[in-house]
Amino acid sequence: MAENAQTASQKQTADRSDAPQRGILLPLALTQFVASFAGSNMNVAINNITKDLNTTVHGVQTAITLFLLCMAALMIPGSKLTDIWGRKRCLIGGLAVYGTGAVIAALAPALAVLIVGYSVFEGVGSALMIPPIYILATMVFGDVQSRARAFGAISGAGGIGAATGPLIGGLITTTISWRVSFLLQAAIVAAIIVLTLRLTDPAAPDPTRRFDITGAVLCAVGMFFIVIGILQAGNNNVLLVVFLAVGAVFLLWFFLHVRATERAGREPLLSLGLFRSRVSNLGLVTQNVQWLLLMGSSFTITVFLQTVRHFSAIKTGVIFTASTIGVLVSSVAQQRLARKYQQRTLIIAGFVVAIAGIGLLLWFALANDTASVWWFVPGLLLFGLGVGGMLTPSVNIVQSAFPEQKQGEISGLSRSVSNLGSSMGTAIAGTILVADLGSGPRSSYQIAMIALALLALVGLGAAIVLPLSSGPD
């Protein structure tokens, strides 16, 4: 009897301790979902937006890239503000800015206004609301397996948001209007804010901490010019070289500024000590390539289906359901997989499966203008399984490489690297398509997918050299 009572008491205690974790996980996962959804649902609405706003495919691609770039450029400053303003306040503030941008984009009469609402407001809002997601998850979930469950839910929500963006966006665009997709985002954001109001910040903010404004400007400007330079490839090679050179100069200036700030005993925007962890550095490479692969492939295939195969937005979205299922299945399995396999092993397997999926798409779907839509299913399913299977372990490796007091900085760096990968994936794929490097209607799309597959090999190489200890304790 006493033993049974003790067991029941322990179970009740565990349930009480799990309750805050369950409560905090839902708004965090939903926030990541809506941010990732915003980056991919635009792809299936490209034709509708170009007609409605009297613009071009390249104009819409620029808006998508600027949204992702804005997140990447401001993610590190945004993460630093979480320590100064508090994680909960930054999360709610970011959601409010994001929701405002969604409403502006929904009412946009021209491309310029769409860029203000979507690229700028939603980009800035994302830079404020995304770092707290991973900081809070790391602080609340203390061990590798519970973090795997949390990051699995969050990264899975992000992957599902990116994968379901074409389906949901296609359905809404075809049946109502692309503008309703932005109103849907605003509604979800409002619901998240209500859920977030009940959360408790596990650590008090420190408004006395220094914010490195100079470092924030140098970092943001450097990353901006790098991606804008990539967009010029195939259009203006002189501007390509100039923008890349300017970006490199600003990033070098940022590095020298941070080093001088640390030597002077002041707190920089980003500590150079974060780059002394080999495990974290390799994990960041895999994160960058994963999101480059996901967003670049999504952009390439959706544009191919709409411009070459002349599929409607909803039909394009339905085809992408296979990828969504793959991401969902592998994300749900993360906690169980984390108990059995090294994090490194899961990342390697994810890259291999994703590359195999691209191979199937190239061999069967993109090689024949008249191929049945069913030929897209196996390739997209494998691709989704691979990407979904490696998102979580990469985040877990990077976040777990540092103590709690460094979580703000590493979270911002991690998300910035991931979102830079997203913007570069869209920029690289879009540049190849706009440059029309191939000799036929399909060849440019094939070249874009081959380029993405080759970049995936870089991520695979980084995963292979990860230390074997980067796994479950």
Report domain extents, the chain: 22-211+269-464, 218-268
What is the reported pLDDT for 8? 42
- pLDDT band of residue 471 (cuts 50, 70, 90) is very low
- Confidence at residue 255, expressed as pLDDT on a 0 to 100 scale: 92
CATH says 22-211+269-464 is which class?
mainly alpha
- 33-82 pLDDT per residue, tens: 888 787 677 777 888 888 899 888 778 878 877 887 787 778 888 888 88
- Say which residue, 437 or 416, is predicted with more confidence: 416
On the question of pLDDT at 441 being above 60, the answer is: no
Instruction: Please give the average per-residue pLDDT across 180-192, as a whole number.
Output: 92
Overall average pLDDT of the 193-221 stretch: 84
Which pLDDT band, with edges at 50, 70 and 90, does 160 fall under?
confident
Closest CA to 312 of 17, 48, 86: 48
pLDDT more than 70, % of the chain: 86
Q: Is it the case that residue 438 has pLDDT exceeding 60?
A: no
Confidence of residue 19 (pLDDT cuts 50, 70, 90): very low
Q: How far apart are CA 136 and CA 131, in angstroms?
A: 9
Q: Which two tokens stand for residue 167?
A: 């389906």
Q: Which of 213-217, 267-271, 448-452 has the lowest mean pLDDT?
A: 267-271
Task: Please compute the mean of the pLDDT values over residues 439-457 and round it to a whole number.
Answer: 82
Name the band, by pLDDT with cuts 50, 70 and 90, for residue 7.
Answer: very low
How much is the mean pLDDT over the chain?
A: 81
Is the model's pLDDT at 223 over the cut of 60?
Answer: yes
